[in-house]
Structure 1
Amino acid sequence: MSTFLETDRLVLRAFAATDTDHLLALDRAPEVMRFINGGRPTSREAIETRVLPRLLRDYPCWGTRGYWAVEEKTTATWLGWFEFRPLDERSPAVVELGYRLNQAAWGRGYATEGSRALIHKGFTELGVERVTANTMAVNSRSRRVMEKAGLSFVRNYTGDWPEAIEGSEHGEVEYVLTRAEWEQG
């Protein structure tokens, strides 16, 4: 499987159809899905027909993917995934950063380490000018990762939730880091 990026402890690689069972386990974990859909499990059919095709998609402006499976480097333990995808498939200027890691990987700095590495690659190799990330306002863990990765809070907003989940009444937040800010950092 194609390696996109390595850090001291992580390998980010292209997704493959063989990741289906890992994705199913990840998206069936109530705490992992708490801020996504209120903790409801995702079905195998949804993983196979909606989730995996999205993760396998190439973006024309890069000729590569925007979602990456992440494994612990020394053990090859599957940890989850990172998103680093252009918002406009024709331009790499603005990308969205995201992550979803299994609960056993929380609190170990993996999300921050992977995010920082993706941001570095984006600004130095991929032509990225602006990185944006968002989460529910009440998702303090994810907000902390965004801050530790160098992004700054820019706004609160109310998203269009098809179904309200606990905490959605507080809205969402957006964090941003520009190339100029990163270079000054």
Structure 2
Amino acid sequence: MPYFLETDRLALRPVAEADTDQLLALDNDPKVMRFINGGRPTTPEAIRADSLPRFLHHYPCLDNRGFWAAEERTTGSFLGWFVFRPLEDHSAALVELGYRLGRAAWGRGYATEGAHALLRKGFTELGVQRVTANTMTVNARSRRVMEKVGLRYVRTFFDEWPETIEGSELGDVEYSLTRSAWEAKQTKQVTRTHRQTG
């Protein structure tokens, strides 16, 4: 299956039905799911009926999927997945960014590396104008990744979820980055590098 993009350490490819067992293992790690569903186990039926249809959905505006399995480039090991999906099937102007990685991949900069690459591809190749990302207010690790890749805090909001989990009383946060802000940051980095080497 062709890769959607590659970085120094990651290869992102479309999620496939053959990934079902790995997706199930990922969603049955209570620490991975702490800020998703409070760490409750997931059934194979839920993966097949709920997760896979989302993962396999085709977005006409990208002529591609919106969920990407993340593999370690040198070993091919399954690390988790990234989402970079348009909020409308026929417009890539507004895209949601997200990630769910297994514990073995935590603390190694993979989320930041993958998110950086997706932002670059979205803003330079896919016609994306704005990227948004959400997480629980108390999910400090995910918020740090969003900030590292340039997304900025927009708001705290309170949605009604089927079940309350620890920390949900503090709400969720939205972060965002526009193409113009991303381009301005790239220009500053190029200018700074030029000054340092010129």
TM-score class normalised by the smaller sequence: over 0.9
Who is 2:130 aligned against?
Answer: 130
Whole-Å Cα distance in 2 between the matches of residues 65 and 116 of structure 1?
18
Pairing 1:24–2:35 present: no
1:160-171 residue pairs with structure 2 within 5 A?
160-171=160-171
1:147-166 residue pairs with structure 2 within 5 A?
147-166=147-166
Whole-Å Cα distance in 1 between the matches of residues 63 and 160 of structure 2?
31
Pairing 1:142–2:119 present: no
Report percent identity of matched pairs: 68
Who is 2:81 aligned against?
Answer: 81
CA RMSD in angstroms, aligned pairs only: 0.6
Q: Deviations over 1:35-85 (max 9, x none)?
A: 000000110011111111210111111110000000000011100000000
Whole-Å Cα distance in 2 between the matches of residues 159 and 2 of structure 1?
37
What amino acid maps onto 1:68 in structure 2?
W
Give the secondary-structure state (helix, strand or coil) at the position aligned to 1:176. strand
Give the structure-2-normalised TM-score: 0.92
How many pairs does the alignment contain? 185
Structure 1: 5+ residue runs without aligned partners? none
Whole-Å Cα distance in 2 between the matches of residues 127 and 159 of structure 1?
30
Who is 1:93 aligned against?
Answer: 93
Give the secondary-structure state (helix, strand or coil) at the position aligned to 2:128. coil
Moved over 2 A (4+): none
What amino acid maps onto 1:10 in structure 2?
L
Q: Deviations over 1:162-181 (max 9, x none)?
A: 11100000000000000000
Whole-Å Cα distance in 2 between the matches of residues 17 and 162 of structure 1?
27
Who is 2:63 aligned against?
Answer: 63
Structure 2: 5+ residue runs without aligned partners? 186-198
Who is 1:177 aligned against?
Answer: 177
State the 1:16 CA deviation. 1.1
What amino acid maps onto 1:11 in structure 2?
A
What amino acid maps onto 2:96 in structure 1?
E
Give the secondary-structure state (helix, strand or coil) at the position aligned to 1:32. coil
State the 1:88 CA deviation. 1.1
Give the secondary-structure state (helix, strand or coil) at the position aligned to 1:30. coil
State the 1:2 CA deviation. 2.1
State the 1:160 CA deviation. 1.8
What amino acid maps onto 2:120 in structure 1?
H
